[in-house]
Chain A
Amino acid sequence: MLKEFALEIQYKVDDTYPNVLRDYWGNDIVSDFYSWFLKAQDVAQNIGVKYIALGFNIEDEAEIEDCAKVLSKIEKVAEIQLIIKGTANKNLDSALLPALISVLEKPQIIAPVQDDNDEVIVEAILASGVNHKAILRTPIDINLTKELNILSMDRGLKKENIIIDPDTGCIGYGIDYGYSIIERIKQAVLAGDETLNTPIVVFSGYESYKAKEAKSTDFSSSWGDNLTRSLAWEISTTTALLLAGADIAVSCHPDVPKKLMELFGGSN
């Protein structure tokens, strides 16, 4: 499978949102999710990025209704495949993701489905009658990955609708665990393990910007300038994980997939 690329944008931003991303998109744009989506779609189509991940980074169930409203509005103008991304907080996602699924009319990708909320979310997907895919996330453990795949298929999720997310970290923050899990998964598939034979996604952009190195301007000159360092952090992280065998990389700065397509070949 040729590598595929995605861009991630956030439902809301505050002053912790990385400056280099804010500078790229524009301060006004990032404060309006719908406008941001339109711009991101434009950029994605120009570069050849295949998906846009909508990160619904809410803190409270009270915000769910507004999320669903804007998602519905976005889907109507979306020409690109969407990844509907929750908070990763299992309790909150078990309310958020089914609500978002209920307003979707076209097949999209739902993330992250984890062990504790998989029943609720997979059932919502199946009940919708729409052929959504699910990103199943497990905490860097190949046995848990297998388990959740098997469990989800038992519940009725089709294998071709499963994408694996091994919850990898970025460079400096434990990327080696995720890197080796991905290599081991691909080896197992080559040796005949069909339960693991699904595409692998990494949210390498989101993980990279958790790192101080990608966010902060508070470093010595040996660390270089902020923009180059943020891009380098994302590029190093993403390149390594794609080489390990990841199939889909979700990035935050559009220059990253643009650059990586020169190495890996594009997706359209």
Chain B
Amino acid sequence: MLGAMEIFKYLPASKKAENSNCKACGCPTCMMFSLKLSKGQITIDKCPHTPLELVEKVSEAVKIQQKTVEFGGKKFGGEKVMFRHEKTFINPTGFFASIDVSEPDYLEKYIRIRNFEIEVIGRAFKFDGIYIKNSENLPIDNFISQVRNDGFIPLQESDLGLFQTFEITSIAETSKLIEKLTNVRYEAVVNRNETYSDPILTFVNAQNPLDICAIGSSLVCKYSSVIVFDCVDEAVVSSLVTLRLNIFTDPELPLKVDSKVYEFNNPNENSLVFLTTNFALTYFAVANELSQLKRSSYLVVTPSEGMSVLTAWSAEKITAQIASKIVRESKVLETIKNKKLIIPGYLADLQEELQEELPEWEVIIGTKEAYQIPAAVREYNW
């Protein structure tokens, strides 16, 4: 939508002309009308003095770019930009598995898909839904109910009218397809061309897992709102789920995580206690390691303005005072029997001072890199 100032330029009060602030629209001033119009709180026809140019601009600006399709609470499409860095991508590409109900073993395939579940950075992922194929003349109402009850979206041929549909069978077709989808996206979000405003659904019928991986990765990055996979390989879907999570992350969100004590694998008074800074990538690297350990642990994350360990160290955003404060203030850490605090290897110089601040704890210099943690835990018997 246009901004308030942009709208105001066209109204009488901006030129101090006749009819300035006439209140015919119900607002006390032209400026107030502009503000409300820009927020969608009033319609342009309430003002009898709008020039044609403004009316045209506003009706263009409210035209939808890409439609949103909603199934069972999940949204697909609705995108507004070509590049995620312009603002963000909004609705993660839907991953559907195709089940051909005319095949005798279709339930077996369904059960395998139903059981697929992975966890990435503490969030659980399953398929979004099932595309039910070849259901003509078959009694599938029970199957549809089961799919719904299992938490999946049942998609049928009759739903395809909501999308622009594409199909790809071989990896060699990928470039051409991506070019097409790029064009569709451009027409939708830049030209606001209604012909191209339906979200995009792509059938991936390739069978080779690595082909599916390359094609699927391309479609996640470049513009498919939904992907229907004919063939499912767990390893490939895992990597596509991870890529999707990254591409659809809002770039404007701060690169830091909350400063607090995080828990991994149901910790208790015998668990390990680690410490690091609140830069998102640092946290993810360490959290990934701790979540894979056989032992349970706590992770103390310091309020270091989203800086990595070394940056925080040089900027004095991680100090003995900052670290000891958060440890001392934690009620849950009070319960730890064998108080050992494992600090990042790059903060070795901090150990002495921190030890003084926390006499009830043994401050241990841990590994420099997160990936070294599991081996160190085995070797040093912390």
Contacts and interface: CB of A to CB of B under 8 A. Distances in A.
Interface of A: 169, 171-176, 179-180, 183-184, 187, 210, 212-213, 216, 218, 220-225, 228-229, 231-233, 235-237, 239-240, 243-244, 255, 259-260, 262-265
Contacts of B175: 263-265
Contacts of B371: 210, 212
Interface string B202-216: 000000011101111
Chain A facing B: main interface SS: helix
A183 B217 contact: no
A218 B280 CA distance: 24
A229 B211 contact: no
Contacts of B84: 176, 179-180, 183
Contacts of B240: 232, 236
A29 B371 CA distance: 26
A229 B235 contact: yes
Given A222-B116, A236-B243, A212 B221 contact: no
Contact of B210 (A172, A175, A220, A255): A255
A243 B221 contact: yes
Nearest to A183: B83
Given A172-B242, A176-B84, 8 more contacts: A173-B285, A183-B85, A216-B292, A223-B235, A232-B213, A236-B242, A263-B214, A263-B218
B211 A259 contact: yes
12 contacts: A174-B280, A176-B251, A180-B83, A183-B85, A184-B85, A222-B238, A225-B235, A236-B216, A236-B242, A259-B171, A259-B210, A263-B171
B60 interface: no
B25 interface: no
Contacts, number: 136
B233 A224 contact: yes
Contacts of B167: none
A233 B45 CA distance: 54
B172 A263 contact: yes
B234 interface: yes
Interface residues of B, number: 49
Given A173-B285, A240-B247, A259-B214, A228 B83 contact: no
Contacts of A220: 118
A235 B213 contact: yes
A176 B213 CA distance: 18
A233 B239 contact: yes
Contacts of B209: 228, 232
Contact of B246 (A176, A223, A229, A232): A176
A239 B242 CA distance: 14
B243 A175 contact: yes
